[in-house]
Amino acid sequence: QQEAEFWEGEEGRNLLGDTFSIRNVSTYLRKCPALGAPDPDGWRGREHVLPLFLNDDTDAQERIIKHLILPYAIGDFHPSYLHEHAGGRLSAFHKKDPLDGKIRPINNSSRWRRTAAHLMNASVKKEAAVYFTEQIPNFIQTAGSVDGASVCAKLVSMIHDLPVDAEDPTIICQIDF
């Protein structure tokens, strides 16, 4: 109940309007990874969705954001349709099944989920970085580096090899936004 009230209030509406603007959505769709197997023509989910944001039809774009992307951000799904949103809806675009080569529908809804997740994370990225780097003295960030995963693995290996103090154990916490 409190969550719904927040999103309906001025602060929630402003946050959603800034975070999920047409500009932000179209920028993300232009830059996001293609993901998923292509259809028989070689198109991936992004190529099917991006053209919807490359024109001046702001009315249609606002409806897409409101009805297809925002529900993933605020959890506003009718209970009888939750299984469709969690599992995804199949679209009319088709691709070859890698196992048997037959044509099957594409599950494009993950694009909407990923768009919502990316935009929400992008909206808190700076504040989260400031919090972790300024409030936690031993915070080490490997994101954005050329090979953050390898740097992180080396740090974990190095810390693992240090002597263990039962009174003051070393704790490693990986945060993946």
Compute the distance between CA of residue 141 and CA of residue 177 in angstroms, rounded to an integer. 12
Compute the distance between CA of residue 28 and CA of residue 118 in angstroms, rounded to an integer. 8
Compute the distance between CA of residue 154 and CA of residue 160 in angstroms, rounded to an integer. 10
pLDDT in tens, 137-165: 667 666 656 666 677 777 778 777 778 88
- What percent of the chain has a predicted confidence (pLDDT) above 70? 67
CB 93 within 8 A of CB 39: yes
CB 21 within 8 A of CB 81: no
121: pLDDT strictly greater than 80: yes
Mean pLDDT score, 90-113: 64
Its pTM stands at: 0.64
Q: Please tell me the predicted confidence (pLDDT) of residue 109.
A: 54
Mean pLDDT score, 15-27: 93
